[in-house]
Structure 1
Amino acid sequence: MGVAAANTNHQSVMLAGVAGLVAGAMSVAAGEYVSSVRRRTLNMLILTGLERVSLVENPQSEKK
């Protein structure tokens, strides 16, 4: 963290540690959110493509 110097008190070191912990947790959460959104988007694109293929191969299935 770069806070532990010769004249730094205990509270400053603890505050820096907690701040680092929170920053790391937020970074992981943001990465997971982006990953989830991208995965959901990719799945929707795949399903949309499969639906198009299905309609081209068997257009009568929509008329039932």
Structure 2
Amino acid sequence: MSEERIIELEIKQAYQEDLVQALNSVVAEQQKQIGKLEETCKLLHDKIKSLAQAERNPEIADERPPHY
């Protein structure tokens, strides 16, 4: 191989390494966002579930505490 070709390949490799690092950063940030979204979805699911149970048992939800 000629020296020009080796230099060209080294330059391409350097650009690819930079690209891989940039993509890795993006993937890591997206994983954090996915984790937050999963947590939010779980909270919403639990809230909807508790509201649905309250609708099925309205006497429990509307029951007055004993101090009234």
Please give the range of the TM-score, normalised by the shorter of the 2 chains. Answer: 0.5 to 0.7
TM, length-normalised to structure 2: 0.60
Kindly, what percent of the aligned residue pairs are identical?
Answer: 15
Which consecutive unaligned segments of at least 5 residues does structure 1 have?
Answer: 1-8
Q: Which has the higher contact order (CA 8 A, sep 6+)?
A: 1
1:58 offset after TM fit, Å? 1.4
Q: Deviations over 1:18-39 (max 9, x none)?
A: 2211101101111111111111
1:14 is matched with 12
Give the number of the structure whose residues are more often helix, by fraction.
2
Q: What RMSD, in angstroms, separates the aligned Cα atoms of the two structures? A: 1.9
Mapped to 2, the partners of 1:11 and 1:51 lie a distance apart of 58
- Please give the residue correspondences for 1:33-52 in structure 2 after superposition, counting only pairs within 5 Å: 33-52=31-50
Mapped to 2, the partners of 1:28 and 1:42 lie a distance apart of 21
Which consecutive unaligned segments of at least 5 residues does structure 2 have?
Answer: 1-6, 59-68
Given candidates 51, 54, 57, the residue that maps to 1:56 is 54
